[in-house]
Structure 1
Amino acid sequence: MIALRIEDIRQFTAKLFVGETFDHFLIKEAEIVTFNVFTIDGHIRQGYYSEEELEENQMEELSSWKMIRPYCFSLIKGKKLPGSFQIVLQMPPQAVDKFVTGHQMPLKADQVNGLYLNIRYEEGKLFCVTGTSVSIFTLDKTLDMEWDQAVRSFLKKNEIIFQEE
């Protein structure tokens, strides 16, 4: 797990809320504080969509950031900055499979519960914190190190300037 302080908050939030940079992630949860506290649970409610809609839109357990992003943007846009926000993004299961296989991990893809990017803005500072979850006990930190490096590379590729804390 690493904490990365984002240098250019305006540029980052534009990429997060307006651009498509983070659209391939799923959203686990979000909390946006403006004149109220708005909480979003990214889990798709069973029964809301038909089986055809779920299959057609390739929806599984969590909503995509692409689907939820316009709602979150509508909460923060305006003349005043939000008081704070916290967004937990998760790599989709298919991408986890590819990530684990491509990095020759000592774990199997089905042992990885999630690869997370926690985005937190408060008191005028914005941080991205990495996180992993596995279903077995292991002392091996290969997954953590590879995910940390993948997030660094993702930010650099998208020209997001950061400092490690």
Structure 2
Amino acid sequence: MNMFTLSAKSCMSHLLLKETFDQFSFIEGEITTFNKFTLNGFLYKDFFDEKPERSYSYWRELRDFCFNIIKGKRTPLNFKIILSLAPEHFGDFLKEHQIQTFSPNDITGLYLNFHYDGTILQCITGISMRTFTMDKSLEKEWDAYVESFLRKAGIEREK
């Protein structure tokens, strides 16, 4: 687990206006402005004519909705947005980072937890496994990947 304190302006631009995080699954969110808006990214498959194979919405499907809640002259009082690398990319991640001790089925989520308290925006990484393990190789690789991803995207860190 790593915690990054990010420039709110830079990160919000990437979260709400750019495609930077669009390929991630949206797990859940909570945005407090004049009301508290609670969002669950879980897809209710019975709603669809063609049932999706995935369990969660992609961030790109909710980004504009969240932007419409947040936009305006005032910043939100607070928010949390939880994203995960989409499960269909778990295998590629393991392969690219040469992690052979786990399979995609061992992983529940590779998370980005964005939290804004009204002044400070933080991104906290995390992983969730289906079974307990003392092996921290996946967690370390995810932390390093997120740090590199944020840097390459040009998301500024607070000093």
What is residue 108 of structure 1 aligned with on the other side?
103
What is residue 83 of structure 1 aligned with on the other side?
77
Unaligned regions of 5+ residues in structure 2, if any?
A: none
What is residue 61 of structure 1 aligned with on the other side?
55
Deviations 1:9-52 (A, max 9, x none): 1121011011111101010000000001000000011211112x
The Cα RMSD (Å) is: 1.4
User: Is 1:127 matched up with 2:126?
Assistant: no
Measure the CA separation in 2 of the matches of 1:41 and 1:19. Answer: 21
Measure the CA separation in 1 of the matches of 2:116 and 2:16. Answer: 13
Measure the CA separation in 2 of the matches of 1:109 and 1:47. Answer: 26
- Percent identical: 37
Measure the CA separation in 2 of the matches of 1:32 and 1:100. Answer: 33
In the alignment, residue 68 of structure 1 is paired with which amino acid?
A: L
Measure the CA separation in 2 of the matches of 1:101 and 1:19. Answer: 27
SS across alignment from 2:67:
helix
* Aligned structure 1 segments of 4 or more residues deviating by more than 3 angstroms: none
Measure the CA separation in 2 of the matches of 1:118 and 1:149. Answer: 15
Measure the CA separation in 1 of the matches of 2:118 and 2:8. Answer: 12
Deviations 1:103-149 (A, max 9, x none): 22211111011100000001300000001001122111000000000
